[in-house]
Structure 1
């Protein structure tokens, strides 16, 4: 499955431009299930199992990633942009990016440090003060390669390193997509529905239509969440830690999770010897916020992989956490399908 995550993470798929990811997933799941794309770009999947479920369960993972969108090309051929999704401007200065479908190479630049006044040096540079330099001599040349509205992504390789770690650009949420693909490619005990959603990073847009179309009773959102187990972070603010298994939350900024499903995840972890950790804090959000409100309401739980440096060019996951998340999600899907 790690090789699949590598292939997925190298695809360009900034929110609103997820086509390449969706087309690749179709190739992976073709012949294993029934699927179609809806009008906003979600890929909706039905996988027949050995039994009919008592409860209709949907698994969801989003295809989109954070990135940039070009808003203006100036006379010097420099590209002005804004962020798509939650990106910290402190991590992007000097980073290499790939712009548009052609993958035009560029570098995010700012005013030279020797021209910054002393009073400004301690301030965080705003995105409005940055630009992408693609090496064009002027506006006319830049327009031969880039259009306003083109997306840009970090130019970041997939790397295995350290004690079973991987680093890549879009692990949020291509690792979740890989888990869903792997489940579709294998036999399931119960009929199960899957949603590969779009535009999660700008407001969980795709999840709204996906949940309405599938109309599940329950949903598992398979995600990545911020692990703060790094230098300078007090224990009370770490949220979760890499290497301690999948993360299950009781609440975030968009969802109060179903208490019975939360407890089910913890119980399965104990029964099946799968390490499970609680998300210790009310931070972030995911597709659950939209899924829970669909039709007459959907019981939701999110199962996330702890990820360091989320939304940066170097997201970091531990392979063991990915495998344990896959195991927990499979057990939960089976047991939720049989709930009274």
Structure 2
């Protein structure tokens, strides 16, 4: 069962796309005693091979991404305020007023023009990113430049809470997937398997594209988080998936048509292990499977996702039950695929 303390450590570490070093070091520390071979690729992916009791009949790669959405400093104003760009897909409605950390630990807050200076039309709209700024308390460009520079990463500050059987935190996408794969790698395996912890998923699936090329697998399981819209005001047929109803299986998204046999095999694995499971009831979004399944001559690919509310925001929410059941399902599904079923 994946460790909540490890998940907290992963979620509280910082690692927007292109700045995954802190996450990679935590994962390396956790898996080195258990992996037979570990490689860090030029782009920054972490590939770990572990021998099982049997040689795999199908060469399988299990994949999770290390990076999170965030921001980066683009310009420092004369008054010390920082302009920024988003890194990954962030809904601009969640930005204003959020506490953030810039660079190597500089606290700040995302600000905007005061509401009493807005027109009635402006008050009804979310503030464009170009009109937002980060305030670190500096009173001049010179003072700000002593602490930060253009290109510095910016991450949300948030809690890690496990009340009511849930997990609320920043970066559950996809540190929860990383935690699951770490725990699986620590266990005795029935078959040889390759574990890929990849970079830059949020900015174009770059890490998975290169990892799949190097690894050259026959099959892949992508472990992700996916949007759950089971909240007030959303019609039942638009809720996509439900928190607490088990891991989510996708038949298609905007980047991938998933292997139909593996999709059914995942439901079979859920039934065999007695865990809940649900189909993603929309063709939307995408994940590392989009790059993996078209690598080289093609890779048979399936995705197992955690239903997650408030994805790509300062605080997301998943169910502890879904988190643990996803690992059980993935372990059995990996055995079935690697065993040649």
Give TM-score scaled by structure 2 length.
0.98
Aligned to 2:41: 38
For 1:36 and 1:214, locate their aligned partners in 2 and report how far apart those are by CA, in whole Å. 11
Q: Distance in 2 between matches of 1:231 and 1:82?
A: 30
Residue 332 (structure 2) aligns with: 331
In the TM superposition, residue 334 of structure 1 has moved relative to its aligned partner by: 0.2
Distance 2:282 2:256 in 1: 13
Query: Hey, what does 1:158 align to over in structure 2?
Result: 160
Report the Cα distance in structure 2 between the residues aligned to 1:274 and 1:260, rounded to whole angstroms. 19
Counterpart in the other structure of 2:316: 315
Say if 2:93 is the partner of 1:85: no
Is 1:231 paired with 2:232?
Answer: yes
State the partner residue of 1:109. 111
Aligned residues: 338
Q: Which residue of 2 aligns with 1:119?
A: 121
The 5 Å alignment of 1:203-222 reads 203-222=204-223
Match of 2:19 in 1: 17
Distance between the aligned counterparts of 1:294 and 1:313, measured in 2? 33
Residues 1:64 and 2:72 are matched in the alignment:
no
Structure 1 residues not aligned, in runs of 5+: none
Q: Distance in 2 between matches of 1:193 and 1:241?
A: 30
User: SS in structure 1 opposite 2:202?
Assistant: helix
In structure 1, C-alpha distance between the alignment counterparts of 2:182 and 2:286, rounded to whole Å: 23
Q: Aligned partners of 1:41, 1:270: CA distance in 2, in Å?
A: 37
Q: Deviations over 1:209-247 (max 9, x none)?
A: 100111100000000000111111101110000000000
> Using the alignment, how far apart are the partners of 1:269 and 1:191 within structure 2?
22
TM-fit CA distance, 1:30: 1.1
Q: For 1:216 and 1:270, how far apart are their aligned partners in 2?
A: 26
Q: Counterparts of 1:114 and 1:161 in 2: how far apart (Å)?
A: 37
Superposed CA RMSD in Å reads: 0.7
Q: CA deviation at 1:271?
A: 2.2
Cα distance in 1 for partners of 2:221, 2:28 equals 21
Task: Name the counterpart of 1:167.
Answer: 168
Q: Could you tell me which residue of structure 1 aligns to residue 150 of structure 2? A: 148
Asked whether the 8 Å contact 2:63–2:223 carries over to 1, the reply is yes
